[in-house]
Structures are given as C-alpha cells and as structure tokens.
Amino acid sequence: MTHPADIGTHPDIVQMRARYEAAAANPRAQLADGLTLLAGTYLALSPWIVGFHRLSPFTVNNLITGILVALLALGFSSAFGRTYGISWVAPAIGVWTIVAPWVIRGHATTGTVVNNVITGAIILLLGLATMRFGMAERGRPGGGGFRRPTP
C-alpha cells in the first residue's frame, strides 16, 4: 500500500528552502538584485536614452536582453531558491552585451559601444555576485543539495 507523500514537507526540502530564503533576505543579495533590475531596465531603454534607437539591430538586441536581465532579477529577488540554478545566465548576457556591438552587423557608434561595454560590465559583475550568493548557499553543509539522514 502506498501513501501519497507531500515532498514539500520533507525536512530536507524545508531546510533547503529556509536557507535560500535566508540568502535572498541578505541585504547584499537584495542590493545586487535591485541593481541588476535597474541595469536590465536601463539596457532595455538605452537605445532611446543614448539615442541610437534608429540602429534597429542594436535597438532590438538591447531591448530583448535588457528585459531578460530585468526578469531574471525579479526572479532572483522573489524566488531565489527556485532560480539560483540559472544565475549563470545574467553574467552570460553581460558578456553578450559587451561584445554585441562588434558581433551585430551594423554601424556601431561610439555611444553604442560605450553604452554596451559599461552596461554589460555592470550586468556581468552583478550576475557574478548573484551567482556567488547561490554558490555560498550551496557550499554550506546541507545547502543546495539533499543529504541522506544519518541513522
């Protein structure tokens, strides 16, 4: 006879969720998440702020990658325990933002290059900080993984 088990109440799951909630409540993690949200929002709006919105490929690139970064930051700040596994995406988008002016075909202006390099570097550093919070949590005894209870 089998009994339906609610895995959400398993002691290891409860302990892991509590640790990730504590990591998300860390003021430094909240600061990194907030700044990542701002950086993503700026990246999405930068074609209109800097004035290269007529360069269509760069406009589309910055709009899409900025929205992605902002959504990642919202995910990190609201459900860190469920999103820490994709925290590597933010630094990858930061690297892409840095190299995009040279990869995307078009006429990159000085404003485009400077904007993307600085914004990409900020997103890269903030993404690495977010990854560090997740790794620090995983590195703690019992954090980020399941342990077999000792008899």
0.85 exceeded by pTM: no
Looking at residue 149, what DSSP letter applies? P
> Residue 5: inside a domain, yes or no?
no
Segments forming the whole domain that contains residue 46 = 11-139
Q: Residue 50 is which amino acid?
A: V
> Residue 100: inside a domain, yes or no?
yes
pLDDT at residue 60, as a whole number? 92
pLDDT at residue 75, as a whole number? 87
Ranges of residues in the chain with a pLDDT under 50 are: 142-151
Number of domains in the chain: 1
128 CB-near residues (< 8 Å, 6+ apart): 91
**Cα 17–18–19 angle (5° rounding)?**
90
105 CB-near residues (< 8 Å, 6+ apart): 57
pLDDT at residue 21, as a whole number? 60
> Residue 6: inside a domain, yes or no?
no
pLDDT at residue 134, as a whole number? 66
pLDDT at residue 19, as a whole number? 60
pLDDT at residue 145, as a whole number? 43
pLDDT at residue 27, as a whole number? 77
